[in-house]
Structure 1
């Protein structure tokens, strides 16, 4: 049971971070389908930092450097969406889809090339971080606490405060609801949308490194992030673009995802003799069922996905 709670919280942390990223982007008026790709890039940046960080680096230093590398690469990659959607007014769904395809392919090619150059004969797309991962873990009476859990909680609180208690957040949401009205009172819609997309890159990149370090000490980038970016989008929609509801939805989806890791420890589930793939599919099946029953009542920001033209009123 303790292991189930542990995995539920860490997977929920991933979903909270990435879904909050999508929340900021969509509240600004930009649909970010590319969260999956941003997660891959964040995972790549964090994994490379763990691999090449100086030996003997204190745990705090390792955590800071890995987080910085993940969020920085996530933000840089999110600029592809920002430039295409805001400056060139491209179709946001198509751009996001292309970002997802490009990220996994680019990460795979890069890691394979790096491993080949370092060790002829090794052409895998895998990065190991066995010792470095220990900096993120604290064992508390059998419960493996991960510092990323605390980061997700801080991000959740900060997101709620920023969106509902700051001028920046209120202006951001205004740009996703009525951009022409926001512009008429002096708010720079383009700048706010850039901010929303960059924040989604920040949180999505962080979510990527949390995901690949959740239960393993190496990651094969050919696998991408196994659809977790899309699952985060489902969490965001189910949570109605509100941080507190997103957190509750993330815990629900995180629980079903955790069952895929620990079902063998429960006699009731083990005796069902179901293939492990069924348990791994559970969060995605649940997301389809939940969205089928709740999507009609969803209230997305009114102007999301609509390119803003300053000349139109």
Structure 2
């Protein structure tokens, strides 16, 4: 056997071993994710969290009378988005001076109308503006990024239509998997926002409806888990071999793990006297976004 053949054979064995190690890594990671699912759903919210959530609801019950976060508004500056030509008419004109507010209820209405018309890019714009608010900069991750997405993504409307259809025919996890990596500049933390608002109009064929899981809520869930003796940070933030794709993989796992936990936790907090019994799970998502109980009972 020549030196070249022996060399090629050794390389092939090393590649095969590398693939096996990666498969084993993902299998072990999935085992950890499944364990986190079971443990989080079993232990749920500690007393400190329930107390903080009850206090938060006492301060916000008048504003959120229907037991949903529909009145949750985000402030944005319309003029910063002036170069976005796909602009929902229900939102303030981009020629308007100063700031404007848009609520979850308004965005859900825009998205419902857009999906009915097949105008998925209109839905994306409303969700993106609501998700960014006044954060970012004209040359950074706000208006400029959305502009690049709208102009630079071939078949954008068809991609979003396919994702929504997957949500309708399968479930939120499958829709998330299809969306992942399809749109440059459309990061993993934003996927759940798109699916959340789409899920307001489209019922998933199985599983629970999507909830928002951004960086803030992911930190809250990690803090919650650590506070009751668990360490799911490896599940919620673990990176896969090879770089940036692991952030999205970890976020997908976090989305899958958090959804059943949020559903069960919603039932738990609804059973207390300090929370509306008919509240929707996204009210808890919003409350966890706004409330901190780790280290202090500070609520924002």
Q: TM-score, normalised by structure 1?
A: 0.27
Bigger RCO (CA 8 Å, 6+ sep): 1
Larger Rg: 2
Normalising by structure 2, report the TM-score.
0.28
